[in-house]
Amino acid sequence: MKTRTRFAPSPTGYMHIGNLRTALYEYLIAKANGGDFILRIEDTDQKRYVEGATDIIFKTLKRVGMNWDEGPDIGGNFGPYVQSERKAIYAEYAHKLVDLGGAHYCFCAHKEDDSTDDENEAEAHIKFKDPCKNISVEEARKRIANGEPFVVRQNINKTGTSVFHDVVYGDIEIDYDELDEGVLLKSDGLPTYNFANVVDDHLMQISHVVRGNEYISSTPKYNLIYETFGWTPPTYVHVAQVMKDAHHKLSKRNGDASFQDLVAKGYLPEAVLNYIALLGWNPGTEQEIFSLQELEKCFECEKLNKSPAIFDITKLKWMNGCYIRNLSADEFHKLALPFYEALQGKNYNLEALSSVLQPRIEVLNDIADQTEFLAQLPDYDIALFENKKMKTNPEVAKQALELALPVLQNVTEWTNENLFATLKDLAVNNELKNGQILYPVRIALSGLETTPGGATELAVILGKDETIKRVKQALNKL
C-alpha cells in the first residue's frame, strides 16, 4: 500500500505549535517513503469555526515548505477535502453502520448529544446509558421519517480487552467497558471527529495516522468502526504532547504562542520548523540543524519519543540565531529592514548596521532594543566613561575626545578600516592605549556601556555628521 498521510486541522484560529508539529510528522512520513501528503479541513465543529482560519492553514504550510499533494485548493482523486462538503457521505455511512449493528439511532434530549466539543472528544469519557438502544431500527426509522430529531450513537457491543499496535507505544490494551457509546452523527447531520476521521481516512486510503497520545484511549472505538465495516485500520503513530512546562501543555486556548506569534516576534519559519521537528523526535546523531530536505531523507517515526516534550524558548532562540547567522548578508538585511522603522528618515548606513547586527542577535525583534540608541541618544551620565579595564575616566575621556574630534572631522574615507587605523594611530602618537581613545568614542556615540559593534563600526553606521555631532555633545557633558 502506498504511504499516504493526512493533516486534518480544524479551522479554529492560528496554527498552534502542536498542530504544526503533527503536520510536519505526517509530511515527513509521506516524503521519507515516497508517498503522498494530503491536506483535509475538518470544519464540522461549526461553533468553533473562525473565518479566515483555513487561509491561515494554507499560508502556514506553504511558508514552511510543506506543500501538499492533494487538498481543497488543488483537488485530487478523493475529494472533497473539506468535511462540511462531505455531509452526504457521512450520512450514508452512518446509516450503513446502524444496519451492520455498529451504531443506533438516539432520540434523547441530552446535552451531550449535540454539544460535544470535537477537540475534547478524546477526553469526554461520559458513560451514557442510552434507552434508545433498545428501539428497533424499523421503529427508529419511522420516527425519523416523521421528522423527529435524532443522532447516531456508536454501539460498544464487545467485552474484554481491545489490543492494537502503535508505532511509538507498541502494543496497547484497553478494556471495552471503559468506552462510552458516543455520538457519531449529530442532529444537524454533521459528524463528530470520532466518525468523520475514520470514514475519511478509509475513503482517502490513508496509511498512517499521526495524532496526540490523548487519543489513544479512543482508538478502540475507531477500530470497532473499521471492524464493523470490514476495513483495515491505518498504522497508528501517537505522539506525546508538547508541554510549556512539566505540568502544563501548550494550548492556543490558554494563549500560548502560535506559529504566527513566533514569526511576528522575529523567529524564522525554517528555524521554528527545525525546532519542532526535535520536539519528540531524536535523529540518533548529534546533528541539530536540519533543513526540511534533510529531514525528508532521515526521518523515521520509530525514533519518536514516548515522553512529553518541553517547549524551550531558550533553545529555540539559540537555533534561530544559528539560522540568522547562516543567512547571506543580503538576505539578513532584507529581513532586518522592517525592524529599522525608528531609523527611517535618518541618513544612516543601514547595510553597515545589518552587518554589525547579524552575528550578534538571535531573534529579529531584538533589533529594536539594540538600535534604540541610534534613533535617540540616551541622556547618559559621564560616570559611564569610567572604565578600569580600559584605563579611562571622565578626564581621560575628555582628552581623548578633544584629540579625536579634529581628526574625525578631517577623515575623508569614512570606512571602518580607515577609521580604526586613524584612531589607532592617534592613540600611538599621543602615548595612549587604543582603548583610551576607542572606548570614550564608543560611549560618546552610544551613551551605553555595551553596544552591538565597536566605536568605528558605530561611526560608519551613524555617518560622519552624526558622529561629529555626538562627539561634541559628549565634550559638552564633560
Which of 239, 260, 283 corresponds to the end of one domain?
239
Residues 184 and 301 in one domain: no
CATH of the domain at 453: 1.10.10.350
477 near 382, Cβ under 8 Å?
Answer: yes
> Looking at the structure, do residues 174 and 219 belong to the same domain, yes or no?
yes
Contact assessment for residue 82 and residue 41, using Cβ atoms and an 8 Å cutoff: yes
Considering the domain boundaries, does residue 220 fall inside one?
yes
Q: What is the C-alpha separation between 38 and 34, in angstroms, rounded? A: 13
pLDDT reported for residue 243: 86
pTM of the model: 0.89
Q: Does residue 77 belong to any structural domain of this protein?
A: no
Residues 244 and 233 in one domain: no
Domain assignment present for 43 = yes
Residue 187's domain comprises: 83-239
Say what the pLDDT of residue 125 is. Answer: 46
Same domain, 227 and 253: no
Q: pLDDT tens digit string along 52-97?
A: 889 999 999 999 999 999 999 999 999 999 999 999 999 999 999 9
As a whole number of angstroms, the distance between CA 112 and CA 181 comes to 11
φ, ψ of residue 37 to 5 degrees: the values are -110, 120
Residues 111, 222 within the same domain: yes
Give the domain CATH number at 170.
3.40.50.620
Please indicate, yes or no, whether residues 411 and 366 belong to a single structural domain of this protein.
no
Q: Are residues 201 and 257 in the same domain?
A: no
pLDDT value, residue 122 = 45
Answer yes or no: are the C-beta atoms of 422 and 352 closer than 8 Å: no
Is 315 a catalytic site residue?
A: no
Question: Same domain, yes or no, for 201 and 258?
Answer: no
pLDDT at site 14: 83
Whether 78 is covered by a domain: the verdict is: no
Which regions in the chain score pLDDT beneath 50? 111-125
Active-site residue among 158, 244, 249, 252?
A: 252
CA atoms within 13 A on the CB side of 48: 18
Q: What is the pLDDT of residue 13?
A: 80
Residue finishing a domain among 207, 239, 271: 239
What is d(CA 149, CA 171) in angstroms, rounded to the nearest whole number? 40
Specify the number of domains making up the chain: 4
Same domain, 38 and 155: no
